[in-house]
Amino acid sequence: MQKEIIIKAQKWLTESYDTETQKKVKALINKDDEELIDSFYKHLEFGTGGLRGIMGVGTNRVNKYTVGAATQGLCNYIIKTITTNKQINVAIAYDCRNNSKYFAQITADIFSANGFHVYLFDSLKPTPELSFAVREYNCQSGVVITASHNPKEYNGYKVYWNDGAQVTPPHDKNIIKEVNKVTDINQIKFKGNKDDITLLGEEFDKKYINKITELSLSPEIIKKHSDFKIVYTPIHGTGVKLVPEILKTFGFTNIYNVPEQDIPDGNFPTVISPNPENAEALQLALKKAKEVGAELVLATDPDADRVGIAVRDLNHNLILLNGNQTASLLIYYLIKIRKEKNLLKGNEYIVKTIVTSEILFDIASSFNVNYYDTLTGFKYIAEIIREKEGKELFIGGGEESYGYLAGEFVRDKDAVMASALIAETAVWAKEQGKSMFELLTELYVEYGFYKESLVNIVRKGKSGADEIKQIMEDFRNNAPKEIAGSKVIEIKDFLLQQSENSVTETIEPINLPKSNVIQFFTDDGSKITVRPSGTEPKIKFYITVKENLCCKERFEEKNRELETKIQNIVKSLKL
C-alpha cells in the first residue's frame, strides 16, 4: 500500500501540475506519514452530498485537479447522456468557504471550454437558489461549491441534474465512472470561454424571493404580528442577504442580526463548527435574543440549506429545538392551514427520511394526507417529488438533520424558504394564544411524545474508514437480540433490502434502493438506526423513543423519563 501511494503521489510532481502543488506533494512524500496516505490512498467519491473532503493536494483531497477531473468527467457524462439538446446549459453557485469562488470559476471555465453555456452566480448564494436556477434556465446540470456544515478545512462539490435535484442513481455512479476515466490532467479543458458564461445577480435573487413569497399561507396574521421579534444569524454563510430579505418580504419588521456572524468568512471565527445542529454555534444568537427579548432564533448553515431554531419554553426560557421537532411544527402548520382554508383536495402528500421522526406520518395520517419514506439525503425526497409530479401535490418534507422544503419549484432543502415559513408558523401559534413550544407539547399530547438523540462516532482516515466498516459488519452479522432490556422485534437491513419481524415471523422486501443502513425496532416502541455518514468520517446512531403524554403539565417529567431511556440504550450499545 505504501509503495503504491508513493507512486500515485509522484505522478503529481510532473510539469502538468503547478509549482505550488508539486512543492506540497514533495513535502508530504518526505514526511512519509499518515497524511500522505490519507491524501492519496483513494479518490474522492460521490456520496449523499456529492464530492466532499478536506482541501489540500492529493487524489483524496479537494483541489484544482480533483475539482477539474470531477467537472471534466461530468461534462463527458452530460455529452454522452444529453443527446437531444443543441445547447447544453449548466448553473454554478458557491458558498463562503475558503477557495469556493476559486473552485467555482475553475468549474465554470471547464464547462464553457466543453461548449456548455454557464449561468454563474456573481457572489456567494444559498444552495437552494442553485436548484431553482437549474429549473428556471432549463439546465441539464448544476454544481454548487460547498461543504455545507463541515469544519473549515473542508470543501465540496454538489452535482445537480436537470430537475434541480442532486444526482441519484444511476447518474451518480455513472458520473464517477466518467470521472475515473480522467486519468491524465491533460484531458481536462481548463481554458474557459468567457463568452459562454452569464453572471446571475440581484435580478435572479428577486425571482427566487418572489417565488418563495407565494408559499405564504397566513399573510394577514403576519401583518397583525409584524413586530414579532426574530434574531437571525447566517453563521458567516450565504444566508446573510436573502434570509433577512425574505423575512421582510413576508412582512416581519423586527429582525435582529448578529453583527459578529454577518461577515462571510470560511474560517468561521466565532464558532467551533458552523453547524446549526450544535448548540455552540447558536450561542451568540441566543445572547442577542436574551438582550432584545426575541421569541424566535433562526440560524442557517454556510450554504443556507439547513436551519436551526430556538424558541421560548413553558418557563419562557430560550431552548433549542432539534430537526424532528421543527419539522413536526412546520409540517403540522402547512397541513393544518390548508385544511382550515379548504385547500386539501385529497391528493396531497409529505415526505420524510427513514431516520426522521414517525410523528410526521402520524400528523399527515390524521389529516388524510399521503406520506412517503425515503433513504437519508434530500435528493431522495426530490426523487419522490419527481415521481409524483402531476399526479399528487407535494406539501412539504423534512429530515432530522435540519433540512426542510415546501412547494415544488426548489428540489433541495431550503433554509431561506424554511426560515420564512417557520416564522409564519410562530406567529400563527401566537395568534392562537400559544408559543411554538406550547404548540409542540400539544402535538406530543395528540400524537405521542417522541424524543430523539443522535450519537456520532468519529473515525478519521483510512484506519477510521476500516473501523466504521467493521462496526457495520458486526451489527449486520451479530444483531442484538435485545437493547436496554427491550426485545428487538424487527430488523430492517437496507443493504439486504429486507425487513425481518420476529413477532410475525416474516421477512418482507424493502422497496428502496440499497443503502448501508440497519434499523432495530424494540417491543417498547424504540427505534435505533445505524448508518455511516456519506459526507463525514463518522458512523451515526439515531435513537428514537416514545411514550404517551397526558398533558403539557407532565412534559418535564416525561421528558426526563425518555432521556433516561435513551441513555440506557446508549449504554446497552456501548456507544
Average pLDDT over residues 243-269: 98
Q: 323-340 pLDDT, tens per residue?
A: 999 999 999 999 999 999
Query: For residues 242-276, b (16+ Cβ closer than 10 Å) or e, as one string?
Result: bbbbbbebbbbeebbbbeebbebbbebebbebbbb
Q: 165-178 pLDDT, tens per residue?
A: 999 888 988 888 89
User: What percentage of the chain reaches a pLDDT higher than 90?
Assistant: 89
**Residue 46 has what pLDDT?**
65
For the record, the C-alpha cell of 415 comes out as: 433554509
Confidence of residue 467 (pLDDT cuts 50, 70, 90): very high
Residue 87 has pLDDT above 80, yes or no: yes
Residue 490 has pLDDT above 70, yes or no: yes
- Cα dihedral sign, 239-245-246-252: positive
Which superfamily does 42-200 belong to? Alpha-D-Glucose-1,6-Bisphosphate, subunit A, domain 3 (3.40.120.10)
Average pLDDT over residues 524-552: 92
Confidence of residue 110 (pLDDT cuts 50, 70, 90): very high
- What is the rounded CA–CA span in Å between residue 550 and residue 558? 10
**Residue 398 has what pLDDT?**
96
**Residue 246 has what pLDDT?**
98
Q: 365-388 pLDDT, tens per residue?
A: 999 999 999 999 899 999 999 999
Residue 48 has pLDDT above 60, yes or no: no
Residue 49 has pLDDT above 80, yes or no: no
Q: 119-143 pLDDT, tens per residue?
A: 999 999 999 999 999 999 999 999 9
Confidence of residue 432 (pLDDT cuts 50, 70, 90): very high
Which residue ranges make up each domain of the chain? 1-41, 42-200, 208-447, 449-572
For the record, the C-alpha cell of 7 comes out as: 507512486
Q: Could you confirm whether 419 is annotated as catalytic?
A: no
Residue 195 has pLDDT above 60, yes or no: yes
Q: Exactly one of 39, 112, 148, 515 is catalytic; which is it?
A: 148
Q: Pick from 162, 164, 168, 91: which is nearest to 131 by CA? A: 164
Assess whether the region 42-200 and the region 208-447 belong to the same CATH fold. yes
**Residue 170 has what pLDDT?**
87
Residue 228 has pLDDT above 90, yes or no: yes
Pick the CATH number of 208-447 from 3.40.120.10, 3.20.20.210, 3.30.300.30, 2.60.40.420: 3.40.120.10
Q: 276-315 pLDDT, tens per residue?
A: 999 999 999 999 999 999 999 999 999 999 999 999 999 9
For the record, the C-alpha cell of 358 comes out as: 414517525
Residue 1 has pLDDT above 70, yes or no: no
The domain defined by 449-572 folds into TATA-Binding Protein (3.30.310)
Average pLDDT over residues 393-405: 97
Torsion of CA 523, 527, 532, 533, to 10 degrees: 180
- What is the rounded CA–CA span in Å between residue 544 and residue 540? 13
**Residue 47 has what pLDDT?**
58
Residue 34 has pLDDT above 60, yes or no: yes
